[in-house]
Amino acid sequence: MFYDMHTGKLVIFSAPSGAGKTSIVNGVLQRTPKLAFSVSACSRPMRPGEVNGKDYYFLSPKTFREKIDEGAFLEWEEVYPGSYYGTLRSEVERLWQAGKHVVFDVDVAGGLNIKSQFPEQALAVFVKPPSLEVLRQRLVNRNTETEESLRKRLGKAELELSYANRFDHIVVNDNLETAIREASEKVLQFIDPQ
């Protein structure tokens, strides 16, 4: 059923955490009405200000594992030890049915996974921080990380940066406005080729 329905395109944004990917995704979404955001499921605790069903579908680890067993996910990853994140097939179907192209904010492994399942239908964009030091500073300023989780995220970021060249396009997030403009142009060319 998933593959028979009328389908739109898939626009994937991946980046090391703290690269500013979420701001770019939001900027691109605001400029392009035909796009809609795929709300992921995750098993980590909700942060202050987050809304269930808007930022994520917050599931208990048990429910998350049950959904894995049911085959409910298009892709899922244990992004950080003990924290599961995944794209529900039902979410993509919902947005395609609404006539939208679907935008994903997923980690690098998840992004490459979706791209490999939909090589022609998906555009995979890698958002790169100007440097690892800028990335570290952004994570510190965000103030959501403990010493321990900061170390984990930076370790993972280094590894993820080495996968950048497997993506269709790399956007360096030095200046946010410029990065949003560049990403929006690429996305528009992809969903409405001239």
The encoded tokens of residue 122 equal 């998906």
Instruction: Specify the residue, 63 or 189, whose C-beta has the smaller distance to ligand 5GP.
Output: 63
* Phi-psi label, residue 52: left if phi above 0, alpha if psi -120 to 50, beta otherwise: beta
The encoded tokens of residue 55 equal 């930022």
Which residue's Cβ has the minimum distance to ligand 5GP? 110
Do residues 2 and 93 make contact, with C-beta atoms less than 8 angstroms apart?
A: yes
Site membership for ligand 5GP, residue 35 (CB under 6 A): no
- Contact window for ligand 5GP (CB under 6 A) among 93-101, 104-112, 166-174, 181-189: 104-112
d(CA 72, CA 88): 6
d(CA 17, CA 108): 10
Instruction: Specify the residue, 32 or 40, whose C-beta has the smaller distance to ligand 5GP.
Output: 40
Helix (H, G, I), strand (E, B) or coil at 81: coil
Judge residue 158's burial from the number of C-beta atoms within 10 Å of its C-beta, 0-12 exposed, 13-18 middle, 19 or more buried. exposed
Residue selected from 17, 32, 43, 184 as contacting ligand 5GP according to rule CB under 6 A: 17
Among 161, 166, 187, 192, which Cα is nearest to 27's?
187
Residue 78's DSSP bridge partners are 84
Q: Tell the smallest beta-carbon distance from residue 106 to ligand 5GP (Å).
A: 4
Instruction: Specify the residue, 108 or 192, whose C-beta has the smaller distance to ligand 5GP.
Output: 108
Site membership for ligand 5GP, residue 105 (CB under 6 A): yes
d(CA 116, CA 122): 9
Q: Tell the smallest beta-carbon distance from residue 168 to ligand 5GP (Å).
A: 17
Residue selected from 24, 36, 106, 139 as contacting ligand 5GP according to rule CB under 6 A: 106
Site track 49-88 with ligand 5GP (rule: CB under 6 A), x = hit: --------------------------x-x-x-----xxx-
Interface residues with ligand 5GP (CB under 6 A) are: 17, 40, 44, 75, 77, 79, 85-87, 105-107, 110
